[in-house]
Amino acid sequence: MPDGDARDLSGAAAVAGLGITEVGKVYGQTSAQLAADAVLRAVADAGLRIADIDGLLTSNGITGGGSFLLADTLGLRDLRLNVTLSAAGATASAAVQYGALAVATGMCNAVVYVHADAPLAAPGASASAAYAFAPSSPLEGLRGVARSNRLHGANPLYALATRRHMERYGTTTEHLGAIAVAQRAWASRSPLATMRDPITLADHQASRWIAEPLRLLDCCLVSNGGIAFVITSAERARDLAQPPVYVWGWGQGHPGYSMERGCEFGLVSGAGMSGAAAMGMAGIKPADVDVCELYDCYTFTVLITLEDYGFCAKGDGGPFAASGALGPGGSLPTNTGGGQLSGYYLWGVTPLSEAVIQARGQGGERQAPARDMVLVSGNGGVLDYHGTIVLSPHPK
């Protein structure tokens, strides 16, 4: 990270409002309607009016419903910032970074970031967009070979990444199961979670294969809903309705895997780069982190992210998870709302929303015992795109 610049902005912005619609198997609303609802909830949560918002950041999601045109729906006028962002599951982390930059530099007074999606169709309706959706990457080079052999979509590619890690480091399916079990234990304490019934390692091992070595309980949910955040200056946030959640650090990391022999696909993710940048900006080390809210499209994503952030040595993610460190009572509470595996799946806003709840101390039965430093990750593509945010209830 370049000297000076980013560190000078550490703690200059804060998340002041959080709006969460009903999430999960929620039918009858478009993603645009869910987005508008989430924004109004977030603005009210902060104790502001919609007229106080002068910046809007949106993300497309699976169904492509997020758009800068949301400003018209909300009646927002004279915006200084109105942009639709897309970095897949890393979009939320990037949006916090850009929103924080906008308010810290005086470009905006209050920025709203919103993500909403409605890929699930009601029972009996036609197939949902979630299952029709496919990335539009070009059929060129090695990616073209993979696609022509029907190796396409997230499940088989993450299965390849997982298998490579297993072959190199001895990671097992039981290690992955420990992550699923820990997150379900957290979900059982969360009223927002879709899947709240506790599971055991035996339940994980009995769940059907999706793409070997990934089982059903290794894979995230598909959910409808919307979540929005109000970002403003640290000084202004202190006078608003909710406890401020200060943005201490941010970073991005995009390895751009070549998928050729010798690349680190499945062994290293962009978390190493983005985590070092975010923690460096915040002036902390992994040992200072109290709570992790990690992007968990699959259990393996959690495992490799923990390694790349430095919470354990490379190759030790499996034993670390199996030690019980991640669940209630563990040394590193992780995905305390159940994450995207058991809570709800709304791209990177799932871990971000839970991080704000934890930093505020509003987690109720699932509140982590310490919350001075909360680390949030976003992951997009197949470990291709990564973002990291460090949040704290304390001013810098």
Residue 183 near residue 296 (C-beta atoms within 8 A): yes
Start-to-end Cα distance in the chain: 19
The residue behind tokens 């990457």 is: 137
Q: In sequence order, which residues have a C-beta less than 8 Å from that of residue 135 and are 6 or more positions away?
A: none
User: Which of 98, 257, 295, 309 is labelled catalytic?
Assistant: 295
Give the C-alpha separation, 117 to 273, whole Å.
29
Q: In sequence order, which residues have a C-beta less than 8 Å from that of residue 47 and are 6 or more positions away?
A: 17, 240, 241, 242
Give the C-alpha separation, 329 to 369, whole Å.
9
**338: its two tokens:** 């159940």
Give the C-alpha separation, 173 to 163, whole Å.
10
385 is catalytic: no
Alpha helices in the chain (DSSP H): 5-8, 31-46, 70-74, 91-104, 129-132, 141-148, 154-169, 173-187, 201-206, 234-237, 271-282, 299-309, 317-322, 349-360
The residue behind tokens 């009223």 is: 191
Rounded (5°) CA angle 232-272-178: 95
User: Which of 298, 344, 345, 385 is labelled catalytic?
Assistant: 345
Instruction: Select from 162, 158, 201 the least CA-distant residue to 322.
Output: 201
295 is catalytic: yes
State the catalytic residues: 295, 345
